[in-house]
A and B are shown apart, each in its own frame.
Chain A
Amino acid sequence: MGGHLNINHLMFLGQGALWTIGLSVIALIGGGIVGFVIALARISPLKSVRLASAVYVQLIQGTPLLVILFLGYFGLAAIGLKVSPLTAASASLTLYVAAYLGEIWRGCIQSVPKPQWEAAEGLALTRTQRMIKVILPQAIRIATPPTVGFMVQIIKNTSLASVVGFVELMRSGQIVNNSLFEPFAIYAIIAVTYFAMCYPLSLFSQRLERRMGRGRSNLAPA
């Protein structure tokens, strides 16, 4: 064992960082698509749809992501469904992100003032037209800062995928540490790398929020 941290180790960590970004993007897109459906289902006029989506959200939000990952990887394997670490991590993160984004977006849709719905209704627009042309454009404005903020959570949570053997930033750090045994230096590098990915997003989210705050008075009726 031994040796010193060299360029090859850093390249390996860099590759892990890229997979962290990749997995985050997969989780955001997958979770975004499913989450959008969840958000719409949560405010559906059909009670059964509302109930089913609420149960989903509560179930996921009440379960640690680590457990979902274990279920997706080891659980499915135990019942004969062999999935790759990437598939298991992608699917678990998608389910997880969907539950949270669904709730965030439901709140944003519902925070569009009710009179906006009524005005659109009074103009004889169908429910779908009201949603697409009047409510969603306003909801997207409201949803952007918290969604960008939540992306920070997604990036950090992808580190849990290391437990199913998916080699992202965290796992690649563990691997490098296993050969060098310099935990402080290596995990410090990992921490700084995570921070470098998350901090710009946090800043961006805050800036969006400030800009929103300026426009908010115009969003409210009267």
Chain B
Amino acid sequence: MLDLYGTSVSSRLLLGTARYPSPAILAEAVRASQADIVTVSLRRETAGSRTGGAFFELIRTLDVKVLPNTAGCHTVQEAVLTAKMAREVFATDWIKLEVIGNHDTLQPDVFALVEAARILTGEGFKVFPYTTDDLVVAERLLDAGCEVLMPWCAPIGSAMGPINLPALRSMRSHFPDVPLIVDAGVGRPSHAAIVMELGFDAVLLNTAVAGAGDPAAMAAAFTGAIEAGRTAFHAGMIEPRDMAVPSTPVIGKAVFS
């Protein structure tokens, strides 16, 4: 089980709810993933529209815990207000804190992120910060009251997979007791397996499932890969060698000439 701010969850896949071909396919994917947590967002509502309400009702039927995000926020003020509005709507003090610092890379503004995290934890929020793999920033986020860290492994939506394995390894070894969730950049189940083999606690992804030809099947594939990676981490993997080593014992080998 994975403990996040005192809540135990069995699934180590956190699934985003955006970009699916239809609400029905989103629901299928969430069920196939067996995810306990899905991410949601807030946007301006159109007068007379029930769009938000329809989505909210769909999420309620899925029997999952929601993790609202502050996607699209570029300042501390925007992120803090969005978090408060999300708490009002979703009745949860969990918040996936995003403060974007660059339009092209969607890289977090880590300075604003730390400041927003400090404000929000002070107001009772349980903050899940979308951050980089920078260890100093991670320390500051922990100092600010975060009990979970969510480093990217590549830019949002890039599907590149882990592009800096040494940094991720370093993060895991520096924070052995902090739940670490890789958030953003995962494109394939093998990417998720790799970060789980490094000892990360969970993976948060969206586009890799939503954009797949068969989102429900891909969700199941990710779940399998994440479980495999987690099991392998605990099983103790062998290290690579430069030279070949025969797997079949050579002792007692027949000599025919």
Decide whether A and B are members of one complex: no
